Amino acid sequence: MPAEIKKEIQLEIAHVLFIDIVGYSKRSINEQRAAIDELNQVVRTSEQFQKAEASDRLIKIPTGDGMALVFYTSPEAPVQCAIEISRTLKEHPHLQLRMGVHSGPVSGVIDVTGRANLAGAGLNMANRVMSRGDAGHILLSKRIAEDLSEYEHWRPFLHDLGSCEVKHGVRIGVVSLYNNEVGNPRLPKKFQALKQRRTQVHWAEATIAATTSRAMATSAQRTWVRCFFSAWNFFGSCGLPTSLL
C-alpha cells in the first residue's frame, strides 16, 4: 500500500477483547447478518466502549463471525466491557457469545477509508484464549488476570483454569471470569477434555507403577528362593548342617 494512503501505527501494548458469535457458521446468510447487527447493538450499549470510542482510544475490527475491540486505555477496560456485554445479553437470549481478553503488542495500518487492520501477539493471543471457551464464557489470559488480581474487587471474579496447549505447541494460562451475574461458571469443554486426558494419564501411570512394583517384588522373591536353594546345595555338598541357613 502506498505510503500516502496509510497511517502507520507503532508497535505498542494494547488491551484486546475478542468476541465470537457461537454457532455463526450454522446460520443462514440472513441470520448471520441479523446476528452481526444485534452484536453491534449490544456492544454499543457498553459504557466502556462508548468512553474509549469518544476519546479515540479504541479500534474496532470486524472478524466475520464477531469482532475484536482494541483498547488503548487500561487492562480493566476490555474486561469491564465484556462484563457489560454479558449483562446486556440477558435481553438477547438468541445471541450467544464467547469472549477472550489479553494484553500484548499490536501493530498495523489504517487506510484512507479509516478501516483499522491490526496484527501482533496481543491480537492473536486474545483470539486463542477466546477459542478455549464456550457460549457465555469470558476467558482471560494469565497475564491480564494477574494485573487484575492486584485489585481486591476483581479477585472474586477470577477462577484459574490452569494451562492448555494452543497453536504451534504454545502453552497459555487461562482464567475464567464469572460470578452469579456474569460469565459462565461451567468448565469449558476443551478443559473438560484436557482434565479427562490427564486423569487417564495419571491412572495409566499409577497402573504401570503398581505393575512394576509387583514385578520387582516377584523378581526379588524369586532371587531369594534361588539364593536359598543354592546355599542349601552348597552346604549339603560340603557336609555342613543345613540348619545353619
Over residues 119-152, the pLDDT tens digits come to 888 999 999 999 999 999 999 999 999 999 999 9
The phi and psi torsions of 194 (rounded to 5 degrees) equal: -65, -40
- Strands 6-21, 66-71: pairing is antiparallel
Return the higher-pLDDT residue of 7 and 233.
Answer: 233
DSSP codes, 39-67: HHHHHHT-HHHHHHHHTT-EEEEE-SSEE
Q: Give the pLDDT score at 40.
A: 97
The residue count for the chain: 245
DSSP state of 220: H
Q: For residues 74 and 166, what is the distance between their CA atoms, to the nearest angstrom?
A: 26
Asked if pLDDT for residue 7 goes beyond 60, the answer is no
Q: For residues 129 and 147, what is the distance between their CA atoms, to the nearest angstrom?
A: 16
Burial environment of residue 158 by CB neighbours within 10 A (0 to 12, 13 to 18, 19 or more): middle
Asked if pLDDT for residue 238 goes beyond 70, the answer is no
Q: Give the pLDDT score at 203.
A: 63
Q: Give the pLDDT score at 191.
A: 92
Q: In the CATH scheme, what architecture does the domain 3-184 have?
A: 2-Layer Sandwich (3.30)
Tens of pLDDT, residue by residue over 31-82, are 999 999 999 999 999 999 999 999 999 999 999 999 999 999 999 999 999 9
Domain boundaries defined on the chain: 3-184, 197-244
The phi and psi torsions of 21 (rounded to 5 degrees) equal: -85, 115
Number of H-type helices and E-type strands within the chain = 6, 8
- Strands 171-177, 138-141: pairing is antiparallel
If you average pLDDT over residues 220-228, what whole number do you get? Answer: 65
pTM of the predicted structure, to 2 decimals:
0.76
DSSP state of 93: T
DSSP state of 211: H
If you average pLDDT over residues 159-183, what whole number do you get? Answer: 91
**Confidence category of residue 12, pLDDT binned at 50, 70, 90:** confident
Q: For residues 83 and 177, what is the distance between their CA atoms, to the nearest angstrom?
A: 9
